[in-house]
Amino acid sequence: MKFLNRKFIHTIIISLGVTLISVLALVLNILSYPENKVYDSMMRVTAEKTAPSDEIMIILLDQESIDWGQKKFGWNWPWPRKAYADIVRYLADGGADSCAFDVMFTEPSVYGEDDDLNFSQAAEQFTGIIHTVFLSEQYGNTNDWPLGVETPIFELEGFDEENLKNTYPSLPALFPIKPLRETAGGLGNIRSTSDKDGIMRRNNLFYIVNGRPVPSLGIESLLVREGKNEKLIYDSKSKTVSFRNQLIPVDSEYKPLLRFRGELDRYIPYNAMQILQSYYNLQEGKEPLIEPENFSGKYVFFGFYAPGLFDVCATPISTLYPGVGVHITTLDNYLQDDFITKSSFLWNIGFFFIASLLGALSLIVANKLPFVRKFPLPFSLLIVVLLTGGVFATALSLFVSGLWIPSLSAASTLVFSYLISVLVDYALEGRQKKYIKSAFKQYLSPVVIDELIAHPERLKLGGERKEISIFFSDLQGFTSISEKLDPEELTAFLNDYLSAMSDVILESGGTIDKYEGDAIIAFWNAPTEQKDHPKRALEAAMKCQSVLQQMRPELSLRVNSDVYMRIGLNTGVAVVGNMGSHNRFDYTMLGDSVNLAARLEGQNKQFGTYTICTEAMKNAAEAAGTTVHFRELAKMAVVGKKEAVRIFQPLNIDEYTAMKDTLPIFEAALSLFYKGSLDKALEAFEKIRTQDCVAQAYCDKCKSLLSSNLDDWSLGVWVATMK
């Protein structure tokens, strides 16, 4: 728990620190340029996922129309304003709501005063014509609002006057010529400022002209429909403006972020030639190319689209985007109520903290995954890469829904937090990892050590009760062996023997408790969890016997006698943990189940066997899928215990095959022994005593019991008389 608390505290401190750094970077706009580029990429990806408003229609004067006008009517450039007047009359006949001209009519027509009068008369009949006002220090020619011009404007409420003055400084304006501005249904501002990198991501809803807040060209289309002024109400808390009870998210300059629909072609624009041909056909009683009713109730925009004529600007979706498209997009976003909202400052803090926390946790998670614990850094890096992709995927999905978050800053926060966590882990945890490796490399397998390093909380100080599988082994006749060898030879002999047996135990994931001379004490399922620990322990014991069989010729030659090992095995609950003094302790086990395994190792002498396990281990190992065979040896009450337990002899395939004929006889004899039929049991055991050392042991046991004339012996129980 102390370790977990320390890990948790480190993670929180790193997350908070990196979050603070990211917030400062956001406030100082350190990543604003690349962040805007990510914004542009998201806009390009999502632009065509939303449909343009079907309330907006576009008429473009393109090169085809210019060529047609020259050929048909001899119109040189610029076109006579009669052409625009006829387009207006066509729209009026069709019932269009408005027509915003993104054209500067600031000079009288080269075709004479009647040409301008023709245009103004058409506009006066339509009442939905919107002309442009251009504000520019270079081109503006007046600071005054023209007399006699009363077009719909905004009435501002809730705006900070000082901020308005700084945001919208007084600039000279360029107005349409008098006949056109006086008959216009509205005047729309076309001035809009780009971001520092020259990209138009926002648009002005209005601009101040001599104290009058004039709506942008697109928004003026809405005012013209009603023909009256409208209130624009600013809420500084939510950073929104309310227009006709609809909220528009804006920045500190009162400009909304636009959601572009893609190229203007998505609005399926008509060219001026098609409109004029349709109008002239109607005048001649012919079928029009385009029915004027198509424009009924529509907001129409007219602009130039011929090479050298139309103004272009850079937007997130194109570096050559028609300027009128920005105003069209502004109106479209309002009609569909889907301006892009920039995430709030508090929202960003929360998002950064989550990203930082995920980055800090990546290494911890990688260390906890058992299948990657050997390579935590590469896999934690993979986790970070996936999480970073998740940040951008989340940001993109939020962008589709209309929320823009600083995703690059969040991703940078995640990566930076991860890097800091790696450095902290290296600095603070390296010593602990070295300690664990040093303390346990002699007793645990490398796999288990890696697991402990990844999960040191499993190495609890003190003890814990848990089910383990226990292994006790001892060499047969070691006392006589040791007497035959000098100290150097004995040490070399033990080192070779113990090393071979230890390798088998460690490879199976076992923990070596201790060595006591020639004895090996080990267990499984601690300190790390092993669901199949009975199978691991049993098969490790069988492999130890197999390895010793291979080593026996060489070892026996060194000690001039055969070398055999006895093993006792049990599965049961024990107390496992670090035990000893505060300054010196061992990772060991205690409990009755441990004592039982130790007793069984010695009981091999009674039966002439070399490996004995309890029924508990047999059943658990079989449930875990072991292929080892078993034969029941006895119901035994070991020294110090009154309660008998069933014990078994594990058999490998060769042993089982060799005993296949005698095993049925032994089992039948054992059944008679359990029933107390000692005479019949003895008779049965006698049949195979020369082939089976256990049967010989039972013959001796039966004779001993028969000769003792005991009537109160525990029925069928082999009571051990020695440890």
250/205 Cα distance (integer angstroms): 9
Specify whether the CB–CB gap between 217 and 130 falls below 8 A: yes
Specify whether the CB–CB gap between 86 and 283 falls below 8 A: no
Please state the rounded mean pLDDT for residues 676-704.
94
| Range scoring the smallest mean pLDDT among 89-93, 145-149, 455-459, 495-499 | 455-459
| Mode of pairing for the β-strands spanning 629-637 and 585-590 | unpaired
Judged against a pLDDT cut of 90, whether residue 64 lies above it is answered with: yes
Q: Give the per-residue pLDDT at 449.
A: 62
Q: Which two tokens stand for residue 19?
A: 């979050």
AA letter at 445: S
Judged against a pLDDT cut of 90, whether residue 461 lies above it is answered with: no
Contacts of 243 (CB under 8 A, 6+ apart): 205, 219, 230, 231, 232, 233, 334
588/515 Cα distance (integer angstroms): 12
3-state secondary structure of 472: strand
More reliable by pLDDT, 642 or 96 = 96
CA distances from 680 to 62, 633, 686 (A): 117, 18, 10
517 backbone φψ class: left, alpha, beta (φ>0; ψ -120 to 50): left
CA distances from 563 to 482, 542, 569, 624 (A): 12, 16, 20, 32
More reliable by pLDDT, 365 or 146 = 146
Nearest CA to 613 out of 570, 646, 652 is that of 570
Specify whether the CB–CB gap between 297 and 98 falls below 8 A: no
Angle at which helices 678-688 and 693-708 cross, to 10° = 150
AA letter at 218: G
* pLDDT confidence tier of residue 577, bands split at 50, 70 and 90: confident
Look at the alpha carbons of 378, 384, 386, 388 in this order and tell me if their dihedral is positive or negative. negative
- For residue 248, what are the β-bridge partners? 241
Q: Give the per-residue pLDDT at 211.
A: 84
Q: Judge residue 553's burial from the number of C-beta atoms within 10 Å of its C-beta, 0-12 exposed, 13-18 middle, 19 or more buried.
A: exposed
50/317 Cα distance (integer angstroms): 14
Give per-residue pLDDT as tens, 132-188.
Answer: 999 888 888 888 888 888 888 889 999 998 899 888 888 899 999 999 999 999 999
Q: What is the dihedral of CA 205, 208, 213, 218, to 10 degrees?
A: -30
May I ask the CATH architecture of the domain 460-657?
2-Layer Sandwich (3.30)
| Mode of pairing for the β-strands spanning 129-135 and 186-189 | parallel
Q: Please report the beta strands in 353-510, taking only residues with DSSP state E, as ranges in sequence order.
A: 403-404, 462-475
Q: What residue has token string 């197999």?
A: 546
Q: Give the per-residue pLDDT at 370.
A: 58
Please state the rounded mean pLDDT for residues 602-619.
96
Q: Which two tokens stand for residue 297?
A: 């109730």
197/37 Cα distance (integer angstroms): 10
pLDDT, mean over the chain = 89
DSSP assignments along 263-289, one per residue: SGGGG-PEEHHHHHHHHHHHHTTPPPS
Q: Give the per-residue pLDDT at 665.
A: 96
* pLDDT confidence tier of residue 3, bands split at 50, 70 and 90: very low
At residue 120, φ and ψ (nearest 5 deg) are -65, -35
- Cis link prior to 406 (omega < 30° from 0)? no
Judged against a pLDDT cut of 70, whether residue 455 lies above it is answered with: no
AA letter at 586: D
- For residue 519, what are the β-bridge partners? 516
Specify whether the CB–CB gap between 209 and 181 falls below 8 A: no
Judged against a pLDDT cut of 80, whether residue 568 lies above it is answered with: yes
* pLDDT confidence tier of residue 2, bands split at 50, 70 and 90: very low
Radius of gyration of the chain (CA): 46
Q: Give the per-residue pLDDT at 1.
A: 41
Q: Which helix (DSSP H) or strand (DSSP E) does residue 180 occupy?
A: helix 178-183
Q: Which residues of 627-650 are buried (b: 16+ CB within 10 A; e: fewer)?
A: ebbbbbbbbbbbeeeeebbebbbb
315/194 Cα distance (integer angstroms): 9
Judged against a pLDDT cut of 90, whether residue 336 lies above it is answered with: yes
| Range scoring the smallest mean pLDDT among 293-302, 425-434, 712-721 | 425-434
Contacts of 21 (CB under 8 A, 6+ apart): 416
Nearest CA to 242 out of 159, 168, 164, 165 is that of 159
- Residue 530: half-sphere exposure toward Cβ, Cα within 13 Å: 26
All structural domains of the chain with their residue ranges = 2-29+342-438, 51-336, 460-657, 659-723
568/617 Cα distance (integer angstroms): 11
Give per-residue pLDDT as tens, 78-106.
Answer: 999 999 999 999 999 999 999 999 999 99
Give per-residue pLDDT as tens, 535-565.
Answer: 999 999 999 999 999 999 999 999 999 999 9
Q: Give the per-residue pLDDT at 462.
A: 67
AA letter at 171: L
Judged against a pLDDT cut of 80, whether residue 458 lies above it is answered with: no
pTM, full prediction: 0.62
187/175 Cα distance (integer angstroms): 9
Q: Which residues of 258-283 are buried (b: 16+ CB within 10 A; e: fewer)?
A: bbbbbebeebebbbbbbbbbbbeebe
The DSSP call for residue 244 is T
Judged against a pLDDT cut of 70, whether residue 437 lies above it is answered with: no
- For residue 573, what are the β-bridge partners? 467
Q: What's the residue count for the chain?
A: 723
275/279 Cα distance (integer angstroms): 6
48/396 Cα distance (integer angstroms): 14
3-state secondary structure of 558: helix
Look at the alpha carbons of 211, 212, 216, 219 in this order and tell me if their dihedral is positive or negative. positive
702/705 Cα distance (integer angstroms): 5
Q: Which residues of 329-345 are buried (b: 16+ CB within 10 A; e: fewer)?
A: bbbbbbbeeebbbbbee
- For residue 168, what are the β-bridge partners? none
Nearest CA to 592 out of 635, 642, 630, 535 is that of 642
613/630 Cα distance (integer angstroms): 9
The DSSP call for residue 151 is -
Judged against a pLDDT cut of 50, whether residue 591 lies above it is answered with: yes
3-state secondary structure of 62: coil
* pLDDT confidence tier of residue 36, bands split at 50, 70 and 90: very high
Q: Which two tokens stand for residue 643?
A: 């309660």
Contacts of 337 (CB under 8 A, 6+ apart): 246
Q: Give the per-residue pLDDT at 368.
A: 66
- Cis link prior to 176 (omega < 30° from 0)? no
Nearest CA to 695 out of 721, 720, 722, 661 is that of 661
64/710 Cα distance (integer angstroms): 124
